[in-house]
Copies of this chain bind each other. A is one copy, B any other.
Amino acid sequence: MDTQVRIQSAIDVESNEKSLGQMSGSRWFLRKEEVYGEGASAAYFYLLKSGFIRSFKTLSDGRRHVQSFSIPGEFFGLESGDRHFVASEAIIRSKILALPRSAFTASSVPDQSALKYILDITALELRRAQYHNLLLLRSAQERVVGFLLDMSERQQNSFDISLPMTRTDIADYLGLTIETVSRMLGKLESMSAIEIQRRRVILRKMAVLLEMFA
């Protein structure tokens, strides 16, 4: 993958942690617990403190489209509009801080930086959606590699990446079948580019992976 395509990681959460923390308490969500449903009121958006989130849309014929995964330190649920466009749920037990949208956007809020904060998060979300689009135009092999590279970058550029989501989640995110995802991962492992563990993948040959994404 073209490195300039990948997403620079995010907004500095830590520096805002304190002020955000004052607004509302965080709570734990169990595995497969819904944070918000499709079409629900979008009065809140969320900061994931720990765990893993999937945001998805269910089509009328039952097909499922995974719009995004969120990892600790990232925001989710800010898709604009007054209704959530997708549903979100915890992939594993997750600690989540709910933030009232109005506290940032209400015209009574004198602090312009709060609004700017929302804008930055939305813009980052847009960038991610565009990167996702780019993935979906490519071959199965490239999609899988691009997905791993993105996950690596967002997980502090680690080569040892955590993938608690199922193959079905990955397949629905990449627009492939679980069999194809499994085969592509298998192929990458057979060429020693990666090493597959249970819910974890180790990137062994970054140069090869980067080359494949070209």
Contacts and interface: CB of A to CB of B under 8 A. Distances in A.
A134 B214 contact: no
Interface string A28-53: 00000000000100000000000000
A166 interface: no
A193 to B, nearest CB: 19
Contact of A81 (B57, B112, B123): B123
A130 B129 contact: yes
A139 to B, nearest CB: 11
Contacts of A85: 127, 130
Contact of A123 (B120, B122, B137): B122
Interface stretch (A18-26, A58-66, A89-97, A148-156): A58-66
Contacts of A116: 105, 115
A4 B115 contact: no
Contacts of A39: 4
A4 to B, nearest CB: 7
Interface in A94-115: 105, 107, 112-113, 115
- Interface size for chain A: under 10, 10 to 19, 20 to 34, or 35 or more residues? 35 or more
Contact of A80 (B67, B107, B124): B124
A201 to B, nearest CB: 23
Contacts of A129: 126, 129-130, 132-133
Nearest to A67: B130
A65 B119 contact: no
* Listed residue (A57, A116, A123, A126) with the most chain B CB atoms within 10 angstroms of its CB: A126
A2 B60 CA distance: 7
Contacts of A165: none
Contacts of A163: none
19 contacts: A4-B39, A65-B137, A79-B126, A79-B127, A80-B126, A85-B127, A107-B112, A107-B113, A118-B119, A119-B119, A119-B122, A122-B122, A122-B126, A126-B126, A129-B129, A129-B130, A129-B133, A133-B133, A136-B175
